[in-house]
């Protein structure tokens, strides 16, 4: 065993530091590794050579600013991670390698809220089926990330009472799926993982501070501060859907009145169209009709955008992010929705906040959460395990990867 503070333990720590930097970024040049780790160029060069010879990383020629460079990434065969997204009436599963390449992905209709145990059973079967389709042995899985529509307690891993799946309150999805798959599983709120997915693969690439706002059957936000997810003490950070807009407004599912969600979530706004037309549309139908010019659908989407913009203004006044990324079903309406969001932001956010703030649509669409689950598994995978060539780690709710 290495003695703390010894030359061998320091070398091991430097190896893990380099592996972690590459794992989180997907690929980096040696110069970028040196900047991110604080190690000297010579030390990074020696470590990369050692990791290459040991089969942990691979080096490929690239260019930066017209100059030749070497890109370092984890070997694709070092292991795989899996992402699972328990969405509203839909289950998505994806498999990716440690070099941040998505190997296989599928989405299917599924009544997730009906029975948690049945949904977890089905997810485990879907993972096995997709692994087989990707031609990867299950023994290669080093971690699984799970997205669920509700806050996950950072200590117990339980879903809180404001989840969109009432039947899942108190359920520990990470623990349940880990027992079925026999590998480490990490669960987190879907808005958090939407933020992580956009940070790694989408509209948040290269940004250190952002807010991802998801508007669909619920309203929530994932917050990234200095490149890491901010979950708060108990996992409820970013629950902007329960900001009070009107103390005399409709009763929210959380028990309060007039929450943002009662003016913006599907369950509250879609019935407005049913009252005037006799048939309640789905969210996708609402967006489609609005794009086709339907005045009623356009008005509903614009009203939701203004309400969401007001809630996001408060979030931005508090956190001052570089970028706001809008996802969820209503983001598919484009400027019909984003325009009113920006209008309210301009009205209610501080001028210093909005001067350089970019409000952009998500680049990943409905894939954001499942890809964020992949990114979560990538972030939670132990660097020591990768160096030793084996999967390790405990089955637990996601921790801070800061």
Q: What is the pLDDT of residue 100?
A: 86
Q: What is the pLDDT of residue 311?
A: 95
- Domain spanning 7-74, CATH architecture: Orthogonal Bundle (1.10)
Spatial distance between the Cα atoms of 378 and 94, rounded to a whole number of angstroms: 13
Which fold does the domain 203-362 belong to in CATH? Nucleotidyltransferase; domain 5 (3.30.420)
CA dihedral 203, 101, 147, 127 (to 10 degrees): 160
Which fold does the domain 78-195+367-388 belong to in CATH? Nucleotidyltransferase; domain 5 (3.30.420)
Q: Is the predicted pLDDT of residue 390 greater than 70, yes or no? A: no
What's the average model confidence in pLDDT over 21-46? 92
Spatial distance between the Cα atoms of 67 and 47, rounded to a whole number of angstroms: 22
Task: Quick: pLDDT tens for 237-295.
Answer: 999 999 999 999 999 988 999 999 999 999 898 998 886 677 889 999 999 999 999 99
Spatial distance between the Cα atoms of 57 and 76, rounded to a whole number of angstroms: 9
Name the E strands within 118-225: 141-148, 185-189, 210-215, 219-225
Q: What is the pLDDT of residue 397?
A: 46
Spatial distance between the Cα atoms of 165 and 116, rounded to a whole number of angstroms: 9
Rounded to two decimals, what is the model's pTM? 0.86
Q: Answer for the pair 214, 202: CB distance below 8 angstroms, yes or no.
A: no
Side-chain half-sphere of 362: how many Cα atoms within 13 Å? Answer: 33
Mean of the per-residue pLDDT values of the chain: 90
Q: Is the predicted pLDDT of residue 392 greater than 70, yes or no? A: no
Percent of the chain past pLDDT 90, that is, above it, reads 69
Task: Quick: pLDDT tens for 80-137.
Answer: 999 999 998 899 999 998 888 899 999 999 888 778 999 999 999 999 999 999 899 9
203-362 and 78-195+367-388 share a CATH fold: yes
**Domain boundaries defined on the chain:** 7-74, 78-195+367-388, 203-362
Q: Is the predicted pLDDT of residue 298 greater than 60, yes or no? A: yes
Spatial distance between the Cα atoms of 13 and 3, rounded to a whole number of angstroms: 12
Chain Cα centroid distance, residue 44:
30
Q: Is the predicted pLDDT of residue 324 greater than 80, yes or no? A: yes
Q: What is the pLDDT of residue 391?
A: 39
What's the average model confidence in pLDDT over 226-246? 93
Spatial distance between the Cα atoms of 154 and 221, rounded to a whole number of angstroms: 17
Exposed, middle or buried by CB within 10 Å (0-12, 13-18, 19+), for 254?
A: middle
Rg (CA), the chain: 22
Q: What is the pLDDT of residue 385?
A: 64
Q: Is the predicted pLDDT of residue 152 greater than 80, yes or no? A: yes
Instruction: Read off the tokens for 367.
Output: 């894939």
Task: Quick: pLDDT tens for 159-193.
Answer: 988 888 888 999 999 999 999 999 999 999 999 99
Binned at pLDDT 50, 70 and 90, residue 27 comes out as: confident
Q: Is the predicted pLDDT of residue 1 greater than 80, yes or no? A: no
Q: What is the pLDDT of residue 275?
A: 65
């Amino acid at each position: 065993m290495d003695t703390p503070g010894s030359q061998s333990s320091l070398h091991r720590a430097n190896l893990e530091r380099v592996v972690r930097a590459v794992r989180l970024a997907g690929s980096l040049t040696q110069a970028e590794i040196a900047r991110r780790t604080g190690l000297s160029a010579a030390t990074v060069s020696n470590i990369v050579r050692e990791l290459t010879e040991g089969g942990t990383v691979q080096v490929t020629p690239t260019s930066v600013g017209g100059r030749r460079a070497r890109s370092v990434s984890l070997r694709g065969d070092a292991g795989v991670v899996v992402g699972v997204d328990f969405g509203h009436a839909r289950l998505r599963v994806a498999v990716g390698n440690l070099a941040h390449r998505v190997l296989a992905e599928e989405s299917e209709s599924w009544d997730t809220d009906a029975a948690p145990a049945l949904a977890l059973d089905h997810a485990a079967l879907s993972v096995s089926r997709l692994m087989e389709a990707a031609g990867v042995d299950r023994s290669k899985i080093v971690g699984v990330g799970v997205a669920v529509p509700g806050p996950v307690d950072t200590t117990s891993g339980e879903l809180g009472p404001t989840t969109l799946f009432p039947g899942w309150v108190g359920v520990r999805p990470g623990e349940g799926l880990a027992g079925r798959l026999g590998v480490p599983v990490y669960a987190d709120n879907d808005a958090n993982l939407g933020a992580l997915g956009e940070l790694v693969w989408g509209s948040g690439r290269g940004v250190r501070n952002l807010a991802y706002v998801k508007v669909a059957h619920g309203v929530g936000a994932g917050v990234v501060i200095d490149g890491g997810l901010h979950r708060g003490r108990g996992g409820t950070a970013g629950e902007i859907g329960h900001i009070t807009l009107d103390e005399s407004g409709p009763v929210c599912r959380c028990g309060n009145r007039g929450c943002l969600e009662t003016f913006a979530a599907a369950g509250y706004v879609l019935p407005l169209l049913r009252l005037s037309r006799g048939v309640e549309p789905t969210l996708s139908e609402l967006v489609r009709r609005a794009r086709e010019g339907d005045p009623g659908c356009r008005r509903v989407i614009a009203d939701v955008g203004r309400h969401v913009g007001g809630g996001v203004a408060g979030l931005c006044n508090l956190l001052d992010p570089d970028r706001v990324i809008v996802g969820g079903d209503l983001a598919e309406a484009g400027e019909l929705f984003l325009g009113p969001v920006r209008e309210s932001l301009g009205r209610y956010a501080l001028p210093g906040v909005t001067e350089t703030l970019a409000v952009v649509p998500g680049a990943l669409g409905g894939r954001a959460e499942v890809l964020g689950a992949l990114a979560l598994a990538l972030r939670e995978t132990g660097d020591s395990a990768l160096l030793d060539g084996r999967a390790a780690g405990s089955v637990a709710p996601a921790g801070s990867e800061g």
